[in-house]
Chains A and B, each alone.
Chain A
């Protein structure tokens, strides 16, 4: 099946710094990528949908200035958590859809810990 690579898998950062998470589709072109956040023992929460070459669409309650999403190419989307705080500590997961396909492929996830 299609492969989505997410990097880094784990990151620890200091409060106030910014962290960038990359999501790459390795063997297909992803016109749409999704970013999710998962709190402990909770379901995935969709944060935003990004389409290549356009601005991301954020879900209600998600601060677009805090969670910057860039989808500059058909194989790469990035999520930058700006001025991170301990409450931003979470598991972040991306997924990507192949062109014309309804199946989404997920990255491995990134465990962010803000200290």
Chain B
């Protein structure tokens, strides 16, 4: 059964680095791993996407091990405005059918 697993919630403090890990078995061979940020009552916002190794953009880094069965979103020097729910999204193949599998989301709370 294709599934993604991520922590339900995390707390951190302003200025700290936050790492959120998502495990994803049965990820499709040629598919990307994508992370989204969602604020209440808004649509998810794209953060970062990667296939393997490490990807970095202006807001985050994404670390993906060689087996691609997990990925870690890294947010450097978080601020209060980073308080949100973070979702990982992967494509998986189940019974020869391709599916998009969302994680349940990690509620990140940043404290002063």
- Report A's interface with B, CB cutoff 8 A: 1, 6, 34, 42-46, 91, 93, 95, 102-109, 111
Query: Could you tell me if A106 and B46 are in contact, using CB atoms closer than 8 angstroms?
Result: yes
Among B43, B45, B99, B103, which residue has its beta carbon within 8 angstroms of that of A43?
Answer: B103
Query: Could you tell me if B41 and A109 are in contact, using CB atoms closer than 8 angstroms?
Result: yes
- Report B's interface with A, CB cutoff 8 A: 32, 34, 36, 41-46, 49, 87, 99-100, 102-105
Query: Could you tell me if A103 and B104 are in contact, using CB atoms closer than 8 angstroms?
Result: no
Interchain CA distance A93-B105 in the complex, whole Å: 16
Interchain CA distance A77-B104 in the complex, whole Å: 26
Interchain CA distance A103-B41 in the complex, whole Å: 22
15 residue pairs bridging A and B, Cβ less than 8 Å apart: A6-B43, A42-B104, A43-B87, A43-B102, A43-B104, A45-B102, A46-B102, A93-B43, A93-B44, A102-B32, A104-B34, A106-B36, A106-B46, A108-B42, A109-B42
Among A6, A95, A103, A108, which residue has its beta carbon within 8 angstroms of that of B49?
Answer: A103
B5 to chain A, nearest CB (A): 11
Query: Could you tell me if B46 and A44 are in contact, using CB atoms closer than 8 angstroms?
Result: no
